[in-house]
Amino acid sequence: MTKHMVVDAAPRPTAAARVLAVLGAFGPQHRRLSLSEIARRAGLTLPTAHRLVRELVKWRGLERDENGLYSVGLRLLELAALSPRWLQLREAAFPYIDDLHETTRGNVQLGVRDGLEVIYVEALRAREQNAVNSRVGGRWPMHATGTGLVLLAHAEADLQAKVLQPPLRRYTPLTVTDPVEVRRHLAHIRQTGVAVARGQITPHDLVVAVPVLDPAGEVTAALSVVVETERARPRELAKLLTEASRSVSARLARTPISLPVPRRAPG
């Protein structure tokens, strides 16, 4: 640990931070990157990037294609599948999500909070053309998504304050970006148990979302359906979603999310 004895003028990223920066260079708009793009986006010198990329390829965390471009490798899917908040939640919810997908012919999403945002742990896209582009692993702001509004409505006050700190991102003319107005909406969601929002991310769509409870009765996820506003019947969607959510919650209660691994003692 000699480097801890060296006092740098500028804070120097740790070795771990450099590896994570290489992975963090990839994003929805940057799925395939050249080595020099990785170096630039990660803020690393080319030799350092080269060395780290080589190690990550060996580990199968990155893959190199025939054009010499790198993309995220399947080792990361294998790892992600170990997350209790992803696969076990998804497996409990899938049959109900699948039914909702078929019944509503809309996009169906299951979202959980990660930091100040929502991540979709499942997303089934409507089969129609031009369906909203929601994807598993997608990260979205809470104020603009149905699942996010439900999770935010049931979050602690200081989290709400952080999330609602202006400016809130605007996606369409309908996106609610006034924190006071969002808070009014959150109160209404707590009162009714359902979030309904129009055109927050795509102008012509409507989302209905409901909470999913863990065995302790806490809101652990949110389930939503997105359909075109024109054909949306929010009350019916709310009813279907509430039934589905109760079934998922009941199933979570039967098969705790930490299964099949037995609980271990702390330490």
Site for a copy of itself in 206-265 (CB under 8 A): 258, 261, 263-264
| Single-letter code of the amino acid located at 195 | A
Task: Rule CB under 8 A: say whether 68 interacts with a copy of itself.
Answer: yes
Q: Candidates 84-92, 145-153, 198-206, 244-252 — which segment interacts with a copy of itself by CB under 8 A?
A: 84-92
CB 89 to a copy of itself: min, Å: 10
Cα 129 to Cα 104, 107, 120, 223: the distances in Å are 15, 12, 21, 22
Cα separation, 115 vs 249, whole angstroms:
23
Is the Cβ of residue 35 or residue 253 nearer to a copy of itself in the bound state?
A: 35
Taking CB under 8 A as the criterion, the residue among 12, 46, 81, 255 binding a copy of itself is 81
Alpha-carbon torsion (228, 235, 161, 156), positive or negative: negative
Contact pick of 5, 8, 9, 67 for a copy of itself (by CB under 8 A): 67
Check residue 38 for interaction with a copy of itself (CB under 8 A).
no
Q: Is 171 in the site for a copy of itself (CB under 8 A)?
A: no
- Cβ pair 224, 248 in contact under 8 A: no
Query: 74 or 187: whose CB is closer to a copy of itself?
Result: 74
Could you say whether residue 121 binds a copy of itself (CB under 8 A)? yes
Of 69, 66, 86, residue with least CA distance to 32 = 69
Surface-to-core class of residue 208, CB atoms within 10 Å of its CB (0-12 exposed, 13-18 middle, 19+ buried): buried
DSSP state string for 134-176:
--TT-EEEGGGSHHHHHHHHTS-HHHHHHHTPSPPPPSSTT--
**CA 267 – CA 265 distance, rounded (Å):** 7
| Separation between Cα atoms, residue 150 and residue 210, nearest integer Å | 6
| Residue from 72, 159, 174, 253 in contact with a copy of itself (CB under 8 A) | 72
Nearer to a copy of itself, 87 or 159 (CB): 87
By CB under 8 A, residue 188 contacts a copy of itself = no
Number of residues that bind a copy of itself (CB under 8 A): 73
- Rule CB under 8 A: is residue 5 a binding residue for a copy of itself? no
Name which of residues 90 to 119 contact a copy of itself (CB under 8 A). 90-91, 94-95, 98, 112, 114-115, 119
